[in-house]
Chains A and B, each alone.
Chain A
Amino acid sequence: GAGVSQTPSNKVTEKGKYVELRCDPISGHTALYWYRQSLGQGPEFLIYFQGTGAADDSGLPNDRFFAVRPEGSVSTLKIQRTERGDSAVYLCASSSSGTGADTQYFGPGTRLTVL
């Protein structure tokens, strides 16, 4: 079946602009995660959704970052007033229930470049 998909695959924007990154999880997966991966680093947790609600947003770096999942499926990560330091690959993952020994399945990522 279809895996996790993310759009766009690449996004180039200017400092100060607003961007939206989309994640389409595996159908039926209730848990959805966003991670950010900077060059030479492992992924870093941003936010976790269980259904429509953000169960843990402790990884969001500041209030310029916001994410929604209004119908419990597709999620959008929104970044306001982008800064050069926001440049990274943004990864989305989903799992069937988000509990216990679930496997997280990853999308291909969106590479964000802020000029």
Chain B
Amino acid sequence: AQRVTQPEKLLSVFKGAPVELKCNYSYSGSPELFWYVQYSRQRLQLLLRHISRESIKGFTADLNKGETSFHLKKPFAQEEDSAMYYCALKGGNYQLIWGAGTKLIIKP
């Protein structure tokens, strides 16, 4: 079965601290994974995807096929990073399969 699991509903860290948002997946083929972000009162937007291996707003994510994980990391959190973060997997017909999301709160 294709599934994405984000074990933390809420993550709260202090400004300047490192952040790691966890994502695990289950997929029989070669996975294509994404992180989307939704800031307050805004629409979902793509943050990054594993195939591009880029860093956006200081965030990175590495696909670990052995652990079936795609955790999102940032070394120094900023207040503007507070948002909902969703991990998603591209399914066989290009639809996205989503985790339940993690609400990230950055405390000043």
Contacts and interface: CB of A to CB of B under 8 A. Distances in A.
Given A106-B44, A107-B43, A59 B95 contact: yes
B32 interface: yes
Main secondary structure of the interface of A (DSSP, over half): loop
A106 B95 contact: no
Interface stretch (B12-20, B61-69, B73-81, B98-106): B98-106
B37 to A, nearest CB: 11
B95 A41 contact: no
B83 interface: no
A42 B86 contact: yes
Question: What class of interface size applies to chain B in its complex with A?
Answer: 20 to 34
Interface stretch (A21-29, A43-51, A75-83): A43-51
Main secondary structure of the interface of B (DSSP, over half): loop
A107 B43 CA distance: 6
B4 A42 contact: yes
Contacts of B98: 35, 42-44
Interface residues of A, number: 28
B44 A101 contact: no
Interface of B: 4, 6, 9, 32, 43-46, 49, 51-52, 86, 88, 91, 93-101
20 contacts: A35-B96, A40-B9, A41-B100, A41-B101, A42-B4, A42-B6, A42-B100, A45-B97, A56-B93, A56-B95, A59-B95, A95-B94, A101-B32, A101-B52, A102-B94, A103-B46, A104-B96, A106-B43, A106-B44, A108-B43
